[in-house]
Structure 1
Amino acid sequence: MDLRIKCIEEPANGDYTPGVLNLIDLDNIDMNALKIGEIQAMTGQAAYEYIKKATELCLAHKADVLSTTAINKESLKLAEVPYIGHTEIVGALTGTKNPLTMFQVRNLRVFFLTRHVSLRKACDLVTKDSLLTFIRDCVKALEVLGVKNPKIAVAGLNPHSGEHGLFGTEEVDHVIPAVLEAKATGIDIEGPIGADSVFYQALNGRYDAVLSLYHDQGHIATKMVDFERTISITNGMPILRTSVDHGTALDIAGKGIASPVSMIEAIRLAVEYAPNFKRES
């Protein structure tokens, strides 16, 4: 690859012609102490400082979008960074209490009511009130991205969405009442729809987004469509952030065989949404 690296102080000083990679060097890595493929406190601290710098540039309107690559949570812990990952770091730096994660692959967008909790607890967290608030937050997030009057589907929790209470009552007791109340306020929403079909329908253009009720429900659906091109978009913040959805792959570090596809897609989506993104503060 014919590539030239240019070190700059500010984005405005960059050279944005093809073949030039602009780099803001914080000079926070001791190359003599760096161990390729190993978890180190030094790299965790450096990663945090770069995320902080990039976020500050976005908040200062010197950059339009933050696109993040993989980060190693163990290295953050070794560096005693008080956050477990990108979302928590950027959320704290922007004063965002509850960042909202959306996955996108092709034209399939998926939001998650619950994420890093056990499946048993996730079922308990499906309540009418929590779902109604979630629906409203998702509509707002889509509108901030430029999706006007979004048509939304809610995935069912139980097999066949519970079959009117035969296979679980969460849909009857919580999901349906939340959907009906949201619809009464003018939101274009349907559900619950069986999770075995709703993602396929959205992928084919029937819905602008699907609201997944638990972590793996939405993760499996998006990653089966295209694992490398499933991108995470963090909503509810005053800045736009896209991210790859894979790990650091330290086992292949330095070998030159890592795939750039996910990073390319994260940048592409950032460029796609940036013109319509409406800052929330």
Structure 2
Amino acid sequence: MTAHDAPLAVTMGDPSGIGPEIIAKMYLRRPDKRHWIVVGDALVMNHALSGLDADVRVRPIASLDETLFEDGTLNVLCSSQLRTLPPVSQVSAIGGRAAFDAILAAIRLARDGRVGGIVTAPIHKEALAAAGLHYPGHTEILADHGGAPKVAMMLANEDIRTVLVTVHCSLSEAIRKGDFAAQMDAIRLANAGAQALGIAHPRVAVAGLNPHAGEGGLFGDEEIHIIRPAIEAARAEGIDASGPWPGDTVFMQARKGRFDIVVAQYHDQGLIPVKYMGLDHGVNVTLGLPFVRTSPDHGTAFDIAGTGVADPSSLETAFDYALRLKASLPNLKADTP
């Protein structure tokens, strides 16, 4: 079985958040798309389904060889075996460790080609820290364990796509980290990510760091000495990159169809425009990995966990992106000279 034919793996996320609930709801709402497994904890998923009054049984499995795809059966590959449920809507070391163990188990499956990709439900950074795991998010875990020298975060919806030069760090650190090499990695991965989505010759817009893209050096010179040289080097490699464009207008231009994807310099510069369009259809894609990984564009939502009102739409969109991307696996990795 190849990764193209293999089922997707959906990690349960933090068991105290909405991840298990939206996974259960996705299973119930889409009976025509049930060729996937949960990687997580059987007790947690049983509890999530019981709150929905669903006629579904959890099938705990120790390996994919035990998987049984039939209606009414949710296969859960057990990465943990909790004896009691972690407290709902609360940060806990138990929840952080269980979420982390599920991610690592799914990564191992993906790297071995046993699953066609990973869709990750939300995790909580404080819960990871409480468990002694000092990762600010999925991207950094995947960078350490995913088997790729360079990764980047792409946020996408039907109107905008963006790749980040820097991810989870302070703004001052983002400025330091956004050097020539980081610019090149992001531009190459943006080009590869857009191609994986079916855009043969992507138009890659690179946002500036400073107001008005530095205004010719009046408001900062990173555009002159770092960003523009990277754009020129990318163009020499055959990438249709342009810029640096002012960060306050480049996403509007992309939405109007002038660009296919935008390289943003730091976390909020790229995420605010995407999230402003709505969380229901936004997807986070990790580029550069040897396998597909997507996630919904929202967090654990502790404020509504356990109430039964969580909307699975963004998870469903992430799942559909994973199906779409796994058919383009070779294009997900940037060619880095």
Shorter-chain TM-score range = 0.7 to 0.9
Choose which of 257, 263, 278 in structure 1 pairs with 2:315. 263
Matches of residues 1-281 of structure 1 in structure 2 within 5 Å?
3-9=55-61, 10-11=63-64, 13-16=66-69, 20-26=73-79, 28-31=81-84, 34-81=86-133, 83-143=135-195, 147-278=199-330
Cα distance change of structure 1 residues 175 and 277 upon mapping to structure 2, 3 Å threshold: same
What is the alpha-carbon distance in structure 1 between the residues aligned to residue 173 and residue 132 of structure 2?
A: 29
Cα distance change of structure 1 residues 133 and 34 upon mapping to structure 2, 3 Å threshold: closer
Partner amino acid for 1:21? L
Which residue matches 2:6? none
SS of the residue corresponding to residue 110 of structure 1 reads strand
SS of the residue corresponding to residue 303 of structure 2 reads helix
Aligned residues: 279
Cα distance change of structure 1 residues 171 and 257 upon mapping to structure 2, 3 Å threshold: same
SS of the residue corresponding to residue 262 of structure 2 reads strand
What is the alpha-carbon distance in structure 2 between the residues aligned to residue 43 and residue 234 of structure 1?
A: 23
Cα distance change of structure 1 residues 224 and 84 upon mapping to structure 2, 3 Å threshold: closer
| Between 180-189 and 62-71, the greater mean CA deviation after superposition | 180-189
> Once the 2 structures are TM-superposed, how far is the Cα of residue 265 of structure 1 from its aligned partner?
1.4
- Runs (5+) with no aligned partner, structure 1: none
Cα distance change of structure 1 residues 157 and 78 upon mapping to structure 2, 3 Å threshold: closer
Superposition CA RMSD, Å: 2.6
Cα distance change of structure 1 residues 19 and 150 upon mapping to structure 2, 3 Å threshold: farther
What is the alpha-carbon distance in structure 2 between the residues aligned to residue 65 and residue 86 of structure 1?
A: 14
1:88-122 CA distances to partner (integer Å, 9 max, x unpaired)?
A: 33333323343211111214211111223332343
| Between 111-120 and 234-243, the greater mean CA deviation after superposition | 111-120
- Runs (5+) with no aligned partner, structure 2: 1-27, 29-53
What is the alpha-carbon distance in structure 1 between the residues aligned to residue 80 and residue 114 of structure 2?
A: 21
SS of the residue corresponding to residue 216 of structure 2 reads coil
Q: Percent identity, please.
A: 35
Partner amino acid for 2:77? I
> Once the 2 structures are TM-superposed, how far is the Cα of residue 36 of structure 1 from its aligned partner?
2.3
TM-score normalised per structure 2: 0.73
Which residue matches 2:48? none
SS of the residue corresponding to residue 247 of structure 1 reads coil
Cα distance change of structure 1 residues 238 and 276 upon mapping to structure 2, 3 Å threshold: same
Residues 163, 186 of structure 2: 8 Å contact kept: no
What is the alpha-carbon distance in structure 2 between the residues aligned to residue 256 and residue 175 of structure 1?
A: 46
TM-score normalised per structure 1: 0.86
Which residue matches 2:41? none
What is the alpha-carbon distance in structure 2 between the residues aligned to residue 118 and residue 42 of structure 1?
A: 28
> Once the 2 structures are TM-superposed, how far is the Cα of residue 45 of structure 1 from its aligned partner?
2.0
What is the alpha-carbon distance in structure 2 between the residues aligned to residue 51 and residue 7 of structure 1?
A: 19
SS of the residue corresponding to residue 114 of structure 1 reads coil
> Once the 2 structures are TM-superposed, how far is the Cα of residue 133 of structure 1 from its aligned partner?
4.0
Residues 145, 277 of structure 1: 8 Å contact kept: no
